[in-house]
Structure 1
């Protein structure tokens, strides 16, 4: 999955011949999973039609500060001006891409000239801005253009360098706008290089474990695995290499870069975790591992013959504690689901299992626990710093947990 999946992109198109390439660029952004809003300068419509870009982006294309709308009644027809809110668009975007960026537009960007909707949106944007210059080779090398490049980069904008090749003038040289595939690749690589968990490996457990009684029956719990899967997605979205050891669950990660290792029992989860633990930077034990398992597993289905049936149980291996015993430099995070004396029990687990952070859930809190889309947690550090959190979606809780890892390595 592209790092642009789910992201909101404003594509600014200016009046250069390279504008014809933006049709393919829009298609590539959409294929990468992004939402695309196109804003065109008035001059650019001579090179590519708004209808083309609107059709490909599946959104209306904006050109002017306002649109005229006709309103007809039984007696008269009136015209209403609808404002295209550049401020809202600038705040909406996760990224802004200006391609092609002509010498004229770049000069206006440098000097704060705001005579069209695209420039007004650029000045309102709070997101990273990429610009892909396109012009003839002499214009590209002109001192004023070079000054524009440097000024825009000092402002924090990111330049996608032009390529060399045949130009509209018939000359050949530098100044050709980067090809759409190269623009997409440049942006993806730039975003990835800045992700805070790039080059970090994270091991996460999720879901329940099923402990067999016989070939058709088991001891388990109501965990769906959603919390662990959301944590895995949140970590992968920030650049981490994620190994998700999952008990039985119908869920799949949204981010295809998550490596899922499917297991069934606590013993299998224990083995899988220890196979990976020495080579990871972080481990997060979010799985609801069964505390007990049948001492003897029947090889055939147990028949319903007696009015009473007794199963002898024995403890499963405490996976989190076993990881804490062999921990070196790993940042180890555990979960605690409690019903009474929650804080004290969580503190004891931190010490007993050699944890750096524990995520405490209480079944006494409405909206927390298994099978719910929300969770209410309290973070407790190994120094016993206590941070209660409000009720949030599990996706938001997952991001909060991953932010704790980001803070640790900051």
Structure 2
């Protein structure tokens, strides 16, 4: 399954380094070409000779030990890899990556590579939840670094909790799934499809200088639009109020209010194959919009609101062949509210996220989502960049569209 893939395996100095030997072996068995970089601390747990025998390649530990005078090793390895996998990834290497420190063979190579990077963290539970580590992990994810979340259980230190490096079999399956996704993207499964994505928050005017809105930045919608473009679709963005730059090369229509957004979506509805309603649309608008700036008077002011049109529900009950994806940002009872929304609004997929969760919420470069279909929870994703989340959402849509046409 990994035949011909070039994987650079970084091993750092945690007790979980013993699992890296099995991981290396399993990657090679799957057909990957594996080269290994070990930190000096890693060599205290497992020997270079072990990894050399398993990978059938020289093992690199010292940045000043140049094995080939015709090439600078850390640059050569950085350019060579299809994927850089660090397992285990200690808090130390995570901190170095975040800060851009390059003081050994592995950290220097990580700084030099343009290849995708995947980390499998492993550390004591208290270290894993330390604010410095969670901040560093969130920063790396926002840069596009992929994470394999550690498992929970008895740790070598005697504590029980989250921080145990995932098992080699699981890591191999994650790596395989990553390359399968790349293969799927290369085949452009949405070629010939029209995908409409709404993004940002709507603005409901009170008067010419005041309005009601929300914290939506547009980042999630823009990420979905980029993913649709990568998968070959003809993409249109309908954007409300945003705090992010729209992706280049994609047609965009700017709107202000919920009514404006409904009209813009409706104009494209008949020719739409997939509609992704990532925008945060205001539920209510002021009943009266003042033509002039309202002047202050008295200690209180009463503002009467009326209900806006529910774009998702309206189109959900009008759809024929369209595939409809909705979003639900919640603070509690996520599954209950998400499934209720999916059914009431006749969605094909509903993307639920708890905006109070670490790494999720408006304005963040990362998200934590749960994808629901009519059967319930279809896919639960850890903290990922919004770019990666967008791709995963559309992969789910592609699989279901393909299944319904068979």
Normalising by structure 2, what TM-score? 0.55
For residues 218 and 78 of structure 2, what CA distance do their matches in structure 1 show?
37
**Residues 235 and 311 of structure 1: CA distance in aligned 2, closer, same or farther (over 3 Å):** same
Aligned with residue 392 of structure 2, among 380, 392, 400: 400
SS of alignment partner, residue 241 of structure 2: coil
* Contact 1:236–1:255 under 8 Å retained in 2: no
State the match for 1:221 in structure 2.
214
1:240 matched to 2:240? The reply is no
1:303 matched to 2:295? The reply is yes
* Contact 2:199–2:237 under 8 Å retained in 1: yes
**Per-residue deviation, 1:377:** 0.4
State the match for 1:272 in structure 2.
264
State the match for 1:207 in structure 2.
200
Larger Rg: 1
Aligned with residue 81 of structure 1, among 69, 86, 93: 69
**Residues 343 and 306 of structure 1: CA distance in aligned 2, closer, same or farther (over 3 Å):** same
Which deviations, in whole Å up to 9, do the C-alpha atoms of 1:210-230 show, x marking residues without a partner?
000011100001111110011
Structure 2: which 5+ runs fail to align? Answer: 1-63, 84-183
For residues 365 and 186 of structure 2, what CA distance do their matches in structure 1 show?
32
* Contact 1:266–1:317 under 8 Å retained in 2: yes
For residues 80 and 385 of structure 1, what CA distance do their matches in structure 2 show?
52
**Residues 79 and 277 of structure 1: CA distance in aligned 2, closer, same or farther (over 3 Å):** closer
For residues 196 and 376 of structure 1, what CA distance do their matches in structure 2 show?
25
* Contact 2:204–2:282 under 8 Å retained in 1: yes
State the match for 2:308 in structure 1.
316
**What pairs up with 1:32-111 in 2 under 5 angstroms?**
81-83=69-71, 89=79, 91-92=81-82
For residues 306 and 250 of structure 1, what CA distance do their matches in structure 2 show?
34
**Residues 305 and 401 of structure 1: CA distance in aligned 2, closer, same or farther (over 3 Å):** same
For residues 80 and 346 of structure 1, what CA distance do their matches in structure 2 show?
57
**Residues 261 and 381 of structure 1: CA distance in aligned 2, closer, same or farther (over 3 Å):** same
* Contact 2:186–2:231 under 8 Å retained in 1: no
State the match for 1:339 in structure 2.
331
Normalising by structure 1, what TM-score? 0.54
Which deviations, in whole Å up to 9, do the C-alpha atoms of 1:222-247 show, x marking residues without a partner?
11111001111111122100111100
For residues 393 and 250 of structure 1, what CA distance do their matches in structure 2 show?
17
**Per-residue deviation, 1:254:** 2.7
State the match for 2:286 in structure 1.
294
For residues 318 and 92 of structure 1, what CA distance do their matches in structure 2 show?
45
Please provide the CA RMSD for this pair.
Answer: 2.5
**Per-residue deviation, 1:387:** 2.1
* Contact 1:197–1:235 under 8 Å retained in 2: yes
For residues 190 and 67 of structure 2, what CA distance do their matches in structure 1 show?
53
For residues 194 and 308 of structure 2, what CA distance do their matches in structure 1 show?
27
**Per-residue deviation, 1:409:** 3.5
SS of alignment partner, residue 369 of structure 1: coil
1:409 matched to 2:401? The reply is yes
* Contact 2:200–2:219 under 8 Å retained in 1: yes
Which deviations, in whole Å up to 9, do the C-alpha atoms of 1:280-335 show, x marking residues without a partner?
11000000001110001111100012211110001111010011011101111000
**Residues 329 and 79 of structure 1: CA distance in aligned 2, closer, same or farther (over 3 Å):** closer
For residues 356 and 244 of structure 2, what CA distance do their matches in structure 1 show?
26
SS of alignment partner, residue 376 of structure 2: coil
